[in-house]
Chains A and B, each alone.
Chain A
Amino acid sequence: DIQMTQSPSTLSASVGDRVTITCRASQSIVTWLAWYQQKPGKAPKLLIYEASILESGVPSRFSGTGSGTEFTLTISSLQPDDFATYYCQQYDDYWTFGQGTKVDIK
């Protein structure tokens, strides 16, 4: 099984901050990685797929980089609507999610 490890688990930030979340895979997944945003009581929403491709309608302040085993999600300027939990997911071999990173208000 491919394990996905996100860091940090919680991140406190202010509006306007640049925020980076890291996701590591236990083996190479090439670029078969997606990022999702989830708000309390809601279903996750796809932000990025294939490590760096922005889903249609997702603001350009979100970006993704990486390949192999290390990936990052960056929010260039945090907005009030971005306070949420973020999950990475590999889809190279079945599907596995990271444990999530909660972005809360500093």
Chain B
Amino acid sequence: QITLKESGPTLVKPTQTLTLTCTFSGFSLTTSGVGVGWIRQPPGKALEWLALIYWDDDKRYSPSLKSRLTITTDTSKNPVVLTMTNVDPVDTATYYCVHVAPSYYFDHWGQGALVTVSS
């Protein structure tokens, strides 16, 4: 059974760096074809893909946010960490981490973590 859980601050000040952690179970990020991604959803708005890391440490970033995002993991490959620099109130959203199937769709989602950016 695959589960993912996001953790991190609920409130961040503008210009600060946001760090979110995705801890998962039921799969290994060392398995060929597997990935872990991050998606966000501002209140009342649509989903937006942010970043993704594959089993082989290949990384992908949203072109519009690439300069502000870093996705990493360590040698144990769990958890996966997303950092976003220079946050703004428009970054207020629920942030989800996802399991990426070898065919590239998102088949398991975490429960989400609401992050508010406000002074």
Binding site for B on A (CB under 8 A): 1, 32, 34, 36, 43-46, 49-50, 55, 87, 89, 91, 94-100
Contacts and interface: CB of A to CB of B under 8 A. Distances in A.
Task: Say which size band chain B's interface belongs to.
Answer: 20 to 34
A87 B107 CA distance: 14
Given A87-B46, A98-B46, A43 B111 contact: yes
Interface in B43-61: 46-49, 52, 60
Nearest to B107: A46
Q: Is the interface of A mostly helix, strand, loop or mixed?
A: loop
Given A43-B96, A87-B46, A94 B106 contact: no
Interface string B90-112: 00000010000101111111111
Interface of B: 37, 46-49, 52, 60, 62-63, 96, 101, 103-112
A97 B47 contact: yes
A32 B104 contact: yes
A34 B106 CA distance: 8
